[in-house]
């Protein structure tokens, strides 16, 4: 497993500010516009991908759980029943695309767009959109499950349709459970910002 903390040379207890400071330092060191070493683009890409996850409160929370499991040698302690791998693959793919984009910029342009950008707002808006989308998906699944059960009770659908209703209901509850987790992270992040 890729250790994002090691890439940014920070501790797992690093604060939001520590993560940002480490990213700015490493990004300046490895950006291809200021570092002509042949390994610089790949190192810059890894630095950006580490920052992309650790600077986002929800992604960081999930990554920390995976990281703890990896450090524990997958012994079973602190194991989550939820498989995050598919989600992280997608996040890493998108982060890699953005890293390539930024690596091809002049450093000053990158600094203006990313280092001095509204990264907190960007991450929170992305998290809010994710919450809304997942809530609609979970709520929709529960609504359809209820509709099927109601139709069965009225004698309009066969008993076999109840299997689909149960699957939809479980899926909807599963999604809404994780929406609740995301809302907690979203609220905690804003409270932390407001009390600074």
Domain residue spans of the chain: 4-117, 123-194
Q: Which CATH architecture has domain 4-117?
A: Orthogonal Bundle (1.10)
Place of tokens 């500010």: 17
CA–CA separation, 92 and 84 (whole Å): 12
Which of 34, 53, 157, 156 has the alpha carbon at shortest distance from 95? 53
Residue 76: per-residue pLDDT: 45
Tens-place pLDDT, residues 66-118: 777 766 665 444 444 434 444 456 667 777 787 788 888 888 877 776 655 54
CA–CA separation, 32 and 105 (whole Å): 9
Look up the pTM and report it: 0.55
User: Phi and psi (nearest 5°) for 165?
Assistant: -65, -40
The structure tokens listed for 168 are 């939809």
Which of 54, 27, 56 has the alpha carbon at shortest distance from 43? 27
Tens-place pLDDT, residues 24-65: 899 889 888 888 888 888 888 888 888 888 888 777 887 888
Burial 160-186 (b: 16+ CB within 10 A, else e): eeeeebeebbebbeebbebbeebeebb
Place of tokens 């450090």: 71
Q: How far apart are the first and last CA of the chain?
A: 34
């Amino acid at each position: 497993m890729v250790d994002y903390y090691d890439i940014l040379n920070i501790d797992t207890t690093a604060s939001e500010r520590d993560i940002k400071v480490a990213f700015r330092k490493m990004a300046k060191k490895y950006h291809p516009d200021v570092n002509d070493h042949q390994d610089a683009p790949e190192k810059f890409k890894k630095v950006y991908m580490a920052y992309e996850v650790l600077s986002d409160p929800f992604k960081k929370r999930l990554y920390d759980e995976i990281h703890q499991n990896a450090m524990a040698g997958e012994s079973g302690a602190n194991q989550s029943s939820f498989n995050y791998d598919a989600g992280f693959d997608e996040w890493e793919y998108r982060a890699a695309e953005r890293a390539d984009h930024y690596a091809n910029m002049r450093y000053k342009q990158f600094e203006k767009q990313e280092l001095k950008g509204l990264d907190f707002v960007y991450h929170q808006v992305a998290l809010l959109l994710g919450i809304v989308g997942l809530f609609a998906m979970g709520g929709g699944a529960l609504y359809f499950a209820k509709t099927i059960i109601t139709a069965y009770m009225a004698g309009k659908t066969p008993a076999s349709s109840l299997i689909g209703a149960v699957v939809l209901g479980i899926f909807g509850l599963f999604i809404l459970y994780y929406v609740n987790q995301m809302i907690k992270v979203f609220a905690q992040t804003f409270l932390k910002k407001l009390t600074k």
